[in-house]
Amino acid sequence: MFRYLPLLLLACALALLSLRGPAPANAVATPDYVTTGGWFDQPPNMLFTFDNKVTFGGVMQCDAPLDQPNNLIVHYNGNLNNQPAEFKLETLTSATCTLNNPNDPDGGGQFRGNGTGRCNGGPATAFLIEMNDGGQGNANDSARFTINGTQSGCAFAVFATLLQGGQITLHAH
C-alpha cells in the first residue's frame, strides 16, 4: 500500500493545481519606473521671466524610496532675479505611479513624487515632481515641478507643461 503513496500524492498535487484554472489572458500591468529627458520653454507667470528654457533628465522608481536608482537634474532660471539654477535630486522620499490603461503597459501614465536634493550647491526640496507620459508614440508628454532652495534663484514652480522636445516614458511590466 505505501508503495503507491508518492504517486498518489503527486496526483493530488496536480489535481489541486488544475483547480486554479489558467492564468488570465489580459494580465494587468504594474508601473515600475519612469525615464525622462526633455525641455520646454517656461510659460509666463509671476515666478519667472517668460521664454527661458527648462531642461531635465533622470530615472525614478515608482516604489521610492525602496528601489534605486533615483536621479533627476533640472536646469531652469529661478524667480525674480532670473538667475540660472540647477536642482539635483539626492533622495526621492516618496513616489506613486498610475497607468492610463492597466491592460496596456505601453499606454502611458503618471509619475508623482517628492524628494530632497541640492540647488546651486545649497539644500533644496522638490515638493512636487510630476511626469505625464501620453503613451508610446504620443506627443502629449508633460512635466511639472515645484522646487524651493536656500540659494538665490532656486525657487521655481511650473504647472504641467507640454514638452517641446524629449520624451517621458513610464515603464510597466
| pLDDT confidence bin for 15, thresholds 50/70/90 | very low
Measured CA to CA, the distance from residue 160 to residue 143 in angstroms comes to: 5
Examine the pLDDT at 127 and tell me if it is beyond 80: yes
Cα-to-chain-centroid distance, residue 106:
14
Examine the pLDDT at 64 and tell me if it is beyond 90: no
pLDDT tens-digit map of 34-45: 999 999 987 655
pLDDT tens-digit map of 80-114: 566 789 999 999 999 999 999 999 989 999 999 99
Measured CA to CA, the distance from residue 113 to residue 46 in angstroms comes to: 24
Tell me whether residue 10 is exposed, middle or buried, using C-beta atoms within 10 angstroms of its C-beta: 0 to 12, 13 to 18, 19 or more. exposed
Q: Residue 169: helix, strand or coil by DSSP? A: strand
Measured CA to CA, the distance from residue 95 to residue 36 in angstroms comes to: 15
* Beta-sheet strand order (sheet of 53-61): 156-162, 142-149, 122-133, 109-119, 84-99, 71-77, 53-61, 31-41, 165-172
Q: Report the candidate in 120, 126, 119, 123 with the shortest Cα–Cα distance to residue 145.
A: 126
Instruction: Identify whether the C-beta of residue 122 lies closer than 8 Å to the C-beta of residue 116.
Output: no
pLDDT at site 107: 93
pTM of the full structure: 0.80
pLDDT at site 9: 44
Examine the pLDDT at 25 and tell me if it is beyond 80: no
Phi first, then psi, for residue 132 (nearest 5°) are -115, 115
